[in-house]
Amino acid sequence: MGIQLFKANFAVEACLKQVRECLEKGWTGMGFKTVELEEAWKEYTGHKYAYYLNSNTAGLYMAVDTLKEVCGWDNGDEIISTPLTFISTNHAIAKNNMNAVFADVDDTLCLDPQSVEEHITDKTRAVIFVGLGGNTGRLGEVKKICKNYGLKLIIDAAHMAGTRYRDGSIPGANGEADITVYSFQAVKNLPTGDSGMICTDDAELDEIFRKKAWLGINKDTYTRAMNKEGTYKWKYNVEYVGDKYNGNSIMAGIALAQLPFLDRDNAYRRTLAQWYTDEFAQYPNQIGLVTVLDDCISSRHLYQIFVNDRDGLMMYLNANDVYPGVHYMSNTEYSMYSYAKGSCVNADFASNHIISLPMHMEISHKDVKYIAKLVVKYLMDIRGGERLK
C-alpha cells in the first residue's frame, strides 16, 4: 500500500473492551458512554460544557445556527472566515443564510489578524478561526479584535485535539472563544469512526445544543430512561425544528479508549515534524515551511510544505509509493464562493503550492528520510533547484 498520508492508530483491545461494555449493557446510542466521554473531555480540556456529536461538521452548523438565534442575527449578516479550510467551515455560514467574508491567512496558515480587522463591517457578527494542522496561529490577537468589536468567536478545532499553549492551557477554553468544535473523525489525532464535540462556557448555549442536536426534543432518551418520574418519563416537549446530530456510545467508547494516548501520540507527531524540518532546513529557497509560533504546542495533525510544481511532486511521490495530500484548496476556487476569488493572496499561494506529507504513528525516522529524499530529488534534480515562487 505504500506510505499513506493518514492511518489511524487504535488501541484495539481497549477499544474492544469499551464496545463490549456497550453491547453487554444493551446501550449503544446516546447516553452512557457519551456522557462519560463528555466528562472526560471537560477534565482534559478545561471547557466548562461539552456535548458529544456525530461530527465536527454538525457542531459547526449548530454553532452558527444557535448564535444566530440567541444573538438575533439576520439573514445576510456576515461572518469572517478563512478560505483555507475544509468546506464544512464555510458551509456552516452559508447553511444559515449568512455570508462568508474571507480574510487572508498569515505564515501560520491561520487567519491574519490584520486582514480580519480590515474585513469588519457594520454587518459582521462573528469570526470563525480554523486551527489548521493544529496550529494556534495568532488566535490571541483575533480574540482581542473580536472583543473590541463585540464579535462572537467560533474556533473550528477539527485539527486541534491535544493542541496546547506553552502554559498548558487549551485554545478556546476559559472564555477564549464562545464556541469550540472538535473532530474525532476516522483519521484525526483522536480517531473514532466519525464524531466530534461542541464546547462552550455558556450554560444557555449548551442547553440549546442538546435540544437542537436531538430534533429539538427537550429530553434525550438517556435522560428520560434515567429519571425517577415513573410513568411520566416518556413525556417530553419539542422546542425546535432540530437535527439528528447526537453521538453514540460505540463511537464514544472508542474515543474513551483513545484519549489516554492522545498526548503521547501528539508528542510523536511533533517528533516527526522536527525530523521533516531538519531534512528540509538546507533548502530554504526551494521548500517553504509553515510557521508554528513559540507559544504553540501543536497537535501536528498535518505537516505541510510549500513547493513549486506541487502536482508534479505529488505524482512523483505516488510513483514511489508515497501518498501525500493537499490541505486545502482555497474555498474561493469553488463556484459557490467564487465571489471572493483572488481576494486572499496568501491563501491563494498556499492553495497552489502546499502539500501535506505523511503524518501518522506508523511513520518511522527512516520513512521521513525516504520521503524527504524524494522531495529534495524532485525539486533539486528534476526541477533544477528553482527558487520557490
* pLDDT score, position 232: 53
Cα–Cα dist 83/342, whole Å: 11
* pLDDT score, position 85: 98
User: Which residue positions in the chain have pLDDT lower than 50?
Assistant: none
CB 69 within 8 A of CB 34: no
Please determine whether the domains at 8-260 and 262-382 fall in the same fold group of CATH: no
* pLDDT score, position 107: 98
Kindly report the number of other CB atoms within 10 A of residue 15's CB atom: 19
* pLDDT score, position 67: 98
* pLDDT score, position 220: 72
User: How do the domains of the chain map onto residue ranges?
Assistant: 8-260, 262-382
Task: Give the phi and the psi of residue 300 in degrees, each rounded to 5.
Answer: 55, 50
Helices (H), the chain: 12-25, 33-45, 56-71, 88-95, 113-118, 139-149, 203-212, 221-226, 249-258, 262-280, 310-319, 345-353, 365-376
The CATH architecture one would assign to domain 8-260 is 3-Layer(aba) Sandwich (3.40)
* pLDDT score, position 146: 98
Amino acid identity of residue 317, one-letter, is L
Which residue's C-alpha cell is 501536528?
Answer: 300
* pLDDT score, position 225: 59
Cα–Cα dist 140/252, whole Å: 31
CB 52 within 8 A of CB 246: yes
Rounded to whole angstroms, what are the CA distances from 170 to 87, 146, 290, 340? 25, 19, 21, 32
Q: Which CATH number fits domain 262-382: 3.90.1150.10, 3.40.1280.10, 1.10.357.10, 1.10.10.60?
A: 3.90.1150.10
